[in-house]
Structure 1
Amino acid sequence: MRPRRSVLYMPGANERALEKARSLPADALILDLEDAVAPDAKPAARERVCAAATSGGYGDREVTIRVNGRGTPWHEDDLAAVAAAGPDAVVVPKVNSVEEVHAIERALAAAPDRTKIWAMIETPVAVLRCAEIAAASERLTVLVLGTNDLAKELLADQVPGRAPLLGPLSTCVLAARATGRVILDGVYNDVRDDVGFAQECLQGKQFGFDGKTLVHPGQIGPCNRTFAPSEQDVAHARRVIEAFAAAQAHGRGVATVDGRMIENLHVENARRVLALAEAVANLA
C-alpha cells in the first residue's frame, strides 16, 4: 500500500519551487506543465521537470508530471519527454474516453513499466464514463478529480460543503472502487481558510477518497493527518481483529467490540487501516 494522502501541485517553471519540494512532507508531487506555466515558458519547463523527476532528489515521494492536454500544441512533445524521463506517473488533464487512455498508452510505449497513468476527471462526460476510463488500461492506476474545471463545466456554484458536486464526487468514488483504482479529491482554492480546508479534507475522507490534491505547502500537514489513521483508529482496528479471532476460536462468526457487532467485513477494513498506518509510518 502506497499512501497518497497529500499530492501537491508544483509549478514546473519555478526552479525554486521544484527545489523546495525536495523537503516537503507531501506523499506525492505533481510537477505541473499545464496551468502553472505560461505558453512561452512551456518548453523550458518541460526540460526542467523531466530533469527534476529523474534526479533522485525527492526521496520516497512519488514524483509525477502533469502534461498539457490533448489538442494543445505541447501535448505530444510533453508525452514523448515524459516517456523518456520515466517518472512515477504522467498526469493527463481532461481524459474523456477510453480511446484517449489508449492513445496515452501508445505514447508511453517506450516508457518504463513504473511510469503509470493518472487520469484527471474534469468534465461531465468524464464523470459519466468514469468507470470505463478507469478500467481502460492496467497502466492507469489513479483518478484525479479536477473539481474547479468540473464546477465550471456544470455551471455550478463553488460553495462550502460542495453540494452541487456531491453527485459527481460519489459517482467517481464508485468507479474507482469498482475498478480497483486510487482516487484523489480536487484542490481547495482558498489557502488562507484553514477551517474550510480541514472540513473539505474530512468530507473527502468520509466519501472514500484516498487523498487530496493541494495547491500550497501549508495544506500538507492537515491533509496528512486527516487521511491517515489516527491512534484511536489503529487501536480500534487491533481490538476488532483480536475480538474476531477470539470469537472464531470459540466457533462463532461474529464478535462484539465497543457494543457493536463485528463481522468479517469489519476485520477486512481493520486490516486495511493497519496496513495504511504501517505504510505511513514507513514514510516518516
Structure 2
Amino acid sequence: MSGPMTPLGRRCALVAPGSDERKMAKALESTADEVVLDLEDAVTPARKEEARAVVCRIVGEHRTDRTVAVRVNGLGTAWALDDLRAVGALDGVAIVLPKVDTADDLITADRLLAESGSTARLQALIETPHGLRSIDEICCATDRLEAVVIGYDDLGAALGRVGGHIPARWLHVQDRVLIAARAAGVQAIDGPHLSIADDAGFRAAAQWTRDLGFDGKWVIHPGQVDSTTEIFTPTSDAVDHARRVLDAIAEAENAGAGAGQLDGQMLDEAVAVAARRVLAQIGG
C-alpha cells in the first residue's frame, strides 16, 4: 500500500475553545493543517471579552507554519463588531463567520473588515436551513471567502434530524454545499461530529466526505488529527498517476493529437481536472 504525500490545504482543521488557554496552545502545537480558535459556542457570554483578548495574545505568541482561524461571534450579537476588529487586525489569521444565513452576512463582514483596513480572509459556517437554501449566493458573496464548512449539530437541530451523524442521511446537504463551493472556486470542508474518539465510525464518516470530493474536515480532538490528515491526503500512487495523466495530455497536445491516451484510457478535460485537483492537494 502506498504512503501518503504531504499536501498544502485544509485536510484537517482542529478546533480549540477560546476559553481554554492550555487547549489552544496544544492545538497550535499539533500537526493539523489549520487550527480554529473558537470565540462563539465554546465561550460563555460573561467571558466573551476576556476570551477575545486571550485568543489575540495566544495567536501572537504561538506563530506556526499552519493556518490559524478564529470563529467569531455571529453578526447581530453584542460581540461581533469587536471580534471582527480585533481578529481582523491579526496578521494572516482567517475569520470563521458562524450561522451564515445569506450572502448579505458575508457582504456585511467584508465591509466591516474593509473599513478597518483588514485583509483577513473569511470562512462561512453553514449551519441553518436559511444558509443551506442560500448556499449558491453565499459562495459567491465576496472574494474574501475561501471555504464553507458544514455545521452539523445546529443544522441537524434546526431540521429536526435525530439519530446521530449517519453519513447517508446528510448526502443531499453535503452535495448541495460541495457543488456550490466547486462552482464558486472555494473549498468545501466537512464539519465536526461531536465525538472525541478516533474510531471506525469517525473514520467512515471522514472517508465518506473524502470520497464525495470534500477538501478536508474539522475535528475537535487532537487524537483525530492523524487519521483525518491521512484520509484526506492523496497516496503516492494517486499523485504519480495524476502526473502521468497530465504528461500524456501535454505530449498529445505537442504532437497535435486530438486526445491523449494512458494505459488504454482516453484522456479528456474531465480526467485532467481530476488530476490537477490531486496535485493541488500536495501543492504541486
Amino acid at match of 2:42: A
**Which of 33, 37, 41 is the matching residue for 1:35?**
41
Which blocks of at least 5 consecutive residues in structure 1 are unaligned? 280-284
Q: How does 1:232-247 map to 2 (within 5 A)?
A: 232-247=237-252
**Residue in structure 2 matching 1:255, options 260, 273, 281:** 260
Out of 75, 97, 102, the position equivalent to 1:97 is: 102
Q: How does 1:102-117 map to 2 (within 5 A)?
A: 102-109=107-114, 110-113=116-119, 115-117=120-122
1:60 is matched with which residue: 43, 60, 65?
Answer: 65
- Could you tell me which residue of structure 2 aligns to residue 23 of structure 1? 29
Query: 1:124, 1:150 within 8 Å by CA — same for their partners in 2?
Result: yes
- CA separation of 1:254/1:12 partners in 2, compared to 1, >3 Å: closer, same or farther? same
Contact 2:198-2:223 at 8 Å conserved across structures = no
The amino acid across from 1:31 in the alignment is L
Contact map agreement 1:65 1:87 (CA 8 A) in 2:
no
% of aligned pairs identical? 39
- TM-score, with length taken from structure 1: 0.90
Does the CA-based 8 Å contact 1:51-1:85 persist in structure 2? no
CA distance in 1, matches of 2:92, 2:46: 24
RMSD: 2.0
CA distance in 2, matches of 1:255, 1:100: 46
What is the CA-CA distance between 1:162 and the residue it aligns to? 2.4
Distance 1:266 1:163 in 2: 27
Aligned 1:142-157 pairs, distance under 5 A: 142-157=147-162
SS at match of 2:105: helix
**1:177 maps to which of 173, 182, 187:** 182
1:141 aligns with 2:146: yes
Question: Do the aligned partners of 1:205 and 1:227 also contact (CA within 8 Å) in 2?
Answer: yes
Q: Note the residue ranges of structure 2 that are not aligned, 5 or more in a row.
A: 1-6
Corresponding residue number in structure 1 for 2:212: 207
Counterpart of 1:61, as a letter, is R
From the superposition, tell whether residues 244 and 146 of structure 1 become closer, same or farther in structure 2 (CA, over 3 Å): same
Q: 2:282 is paired with a residue of what secondary structure?
A: helix
Whichever residue aligns with residue 198 of structure 1, its letter is R
The CA distance in 2 between the partners of 1:243 and 1:105, in whole Å, is 43
> How far, CA to CA, are the matches of 2:54 and 2:111 in structure 1?
24
Residue identity in the other structure for 1:270: A
Tell me: higher relative CO, structure 1 or 2? Use CA pairs within 8 A at least 6 residues apart.
Answer: 2
- Supply the distance in 2 between the matched residues of 1:245 and 1:97 (Cα, whole angstroms): 42
Give 1:282's aligned residue: none
Residue deviations 1:168-191 (CA, integer Å, cap 9, x gap):
111111111111111211112222
Aligned AA (2:125) = M
Preserved CA contact (<8 Å) 2:197 2:224: no
- Matching residue within 123, 131, 134 for 2:136: 131
Provide the rounded CA distance (Å) in 1 between the counterparts of 2:88 and 2:256: 55
Corresponding pairs, count: 277
